[in-house]
A and B are shown apart, each in its own frame.
Chain A
Amino acid sequence: MKKFCKMPLQIFGLVIVLSVSSLAANAQEAARLRLDGLDKLGTNSAEKLSFDLDGRLLQLAIRALSNADANDPKMIKIREAVQGLKGIYVRSFEFEADRAYVASDVEEVRAQLRSGTWERLAGIQSKKDGQNIEIFTMFEGDRIGGLTVLATDARHVSVVNIVGMIDLEKLMALQGNFGIPDVNITLPIKIKTKP
């Protein structure tokens, strides 16, 4: 019995590492939403932006960002923001006419966000224009392990699902043109700033 007690730390460490990595993998999978139900919106949309970035592709993207403009402060901020990301999944559509999609088309995504592991952090809704932006988070302990932004109005549906350790402040600090290309799809809401 005594010689087993000597095995120590290494075995327990291995068990803990394996457990944590398996827990992390499960958490990652839980934070990822099923967005393929939205793909049908692409057939009617005037513009669409649809991709899944994780695993190897995400690493290639981060490496490409790291290699270009290594000392540019803006690039440094971007790299800091993406540091803990495991995956980023986007479905964004713009339609030429109002109500070219129905609310039930988005309902499958909302149902996943109401499943109990996501929390609705904030939302704004304008009854006048039918504009709606909702922010959902999934916590791992006291850190955010998943973030989803769901934005809709009469002519737009946009879902961005981010998996991994997220720093909200660093994400928000990317606002503005940080060498980030203009997205063809206009954002659903424009705030009128007071003069």
Chain B
Amino acid sequence: MSEIDLAGNGILFPGQATAKVATASVTEISPEARLVVRVRNGDQDAFGELYGRYAAMVHGILLARVPRAEVDDLAQDVFLSAYKNLGSLRNSNAIGPWLAMITRNRAMEFYRREKKTEELVDDVPVRASSLTEATEVLTIIRSLPDAYKETLVLRLVEGMTGPEIAERTGLKPDSVRVNLHRGMKMLREKLGIGVRS
């Protein structure tokens, strides 16, 4: 059996009569979408709430890609860019995936500007050994494929659950599951059987 769905306006192709096929059902407006509407109406507190909801996600996506020292500044850039360009977001329900996209693009732009082809190694001063070890593990996570490293950082560092990762980034839950499972498997192989204390 085939299913067809069309855009809500009912006219798919020029010259075609109005489609008789049922259009997609009306999407429920999420709380995040309501916040987007408030921000567009000038409510800066609403943007603060959005920030609170997505800061960990933005932080995690950046942490998976750029040196730690750069994460906070780049996160500010991401939110500033989001604030300025909120008008271009056509689907308010997709604020999370949109922010995730801006964040990944910002990370790529960071490397283009730095003109480095290899990932920068964190310059960690001599501190508590556990923080050094944490940075070493993070470096190993960063060496994994993009899809795995991002999901693992969001889960293991930022403490987001699989369903939360799916909801915020727009990835399908099944994909997040696969990424977590495969990513964890690769991480175990790279670390040895378990984490050395």
A/B: CB atoms within 8 Å of each other = yes
Q: Which residues of A are in contact with B by a Cβ distance under 8 Å?
A: 30, 34, 37, 102-104, 107-108, 110-112, 114-117, 119-128, 139, 168-169, 172
* Residues of the A chain whose Cβ atoms lie less than 8 Å from the Cβ of B95: 116
Name 29 A/B residue pairs within 8 A (Cβ), A-sorted. A37-B146, A37-B147, A104-B147, A107-B147, A107-B171, A108-B146, A108-B147, A110-B172, A111-B170, A112-B101, A114-B94, A115-B100, A116-B90, A116-B91, A116-B92, A116-B101, A117-B88, A119-B7, A119-B90, A122-B4, A124-B2, A124-B4, A125-B3, A126-B3, A127-B1, A128-B1, A128-B2, A168-B13, A172-B13
* Residues of the A chain whose Cβ atoms lie less than 8 Å from the Cβ of B91: 116, 119
Residue B12 CB within 8 A of the other chain: yes
- Count of CB-CB pairs between chains A and B under 8 Å: 85
Is the Cβ of A116 less than 8 Å from the Cβ of B98? yes
Of B1, B4, B89, B171, the contact of A111 (CB 8 Å cutoff): B171
Of B5, B15, B90, B169, the contact of A122 (CB 8 Å cutoff): B5
Is the Cβ of B12 less than 8 Å from the Cβ of A121? yes
* Residues of the B chain whose Cβ atoms lie less than 8 Å from the Cβ of A121: 6-7, 12
B108's closest neighbor in chain A, by CB?
A34
* Residues of the B chain whose Cβ atoms lie less than 8 Å from the Cβ of A124: 2-4
Q: Which of A102, A114, A119, A169 has the most CB of B within 10 A?
A: A114
Choose, from B49-57, B69-77, B174-182, the stretch at the interface: B174-182
**In the complex the two chains form, what is the Cα distance from A111 to B103 in whole Å?**
13
A167's closest neighbor in chain B, by CB?
B14
**In the complex the two chains form, what is the Cα distance from A31 to B172 in whole Å?**
22
Is the Cβ of A104 less than 8 Å from the Cβ of B97? no
- Kindly list the 8 A-B residue pairs having the minimum CB-CB distance in the complex, ordered from nearest: A116-B94, A116-B98, A107-B175, A115-B101, A104-B175, A104-B178, A116-B89, A115-B97
Is the Cβ of A122 less than 8 Å from the Cβ of B12? yes
Is the Cβ of A117 less than 8 Å from the Cβ of B13? no
What is the minimal beta-carbon distance from B54 to any residue of chain A, in angstroms? Answer: 13
Is the Cβ of B170 less than 8 Å from the Cβ of A115? yes
What is the minimal beta-carbon distance from B150 to any residue of chain A, in angstroms? Answer: 10
* Residues of the B chain whose Cβ atoms lie less than 8 Å from the Cβ of A169: 13-15
What is the minimal beta-carbon distance from B173 to any residue of chain A, in angstroms? Answer: 11
What is the minimal beta-carbon distance from A100 to any residue of chain B, in angstroms? Answer: 16
Question: Contacts A111-B169, A114-B170; is A125 near B12 (CB within 8 Å)?
Answer: no
Question: Contacts A115-B97, A115-B100, A119-B90; is A107 near B172 (CB within 8 Å)?
Answer: yes
**In the complex the two chains form, what is the Cα distance from A169 to B12 in whole Å?**
11
Interface flags for B31-49 (1: CB within 8 Å of A; 0: not) read 0000000000000000000
What is the minimal beta-carbon distance from B64 to any residue of chain A, in angstroms? Answer: 14
B85's closest neighbor in chain A, by CB?
A26
* Residues of the A chain whose Cβ atoms lie less than 8 Å from the Cβ of B5: 122-123
Which residues of chain B (77-110) have a CB below 8 Å from chain A?
88-92, 94-95, 97-98, 100-101, 104
A125's closest neighbor in chain B, by CB?
B3
* Residues of the A chain whose Cβ atoms lie less than 8 Å from the Cβ of B172: 103-104, 107, 110
B3's closest neighbor in chain A, by CB?
A125
* Residues of the A chain whose Cβ atoms lie less than 8 Å from the Cβ of B88: 30, 117
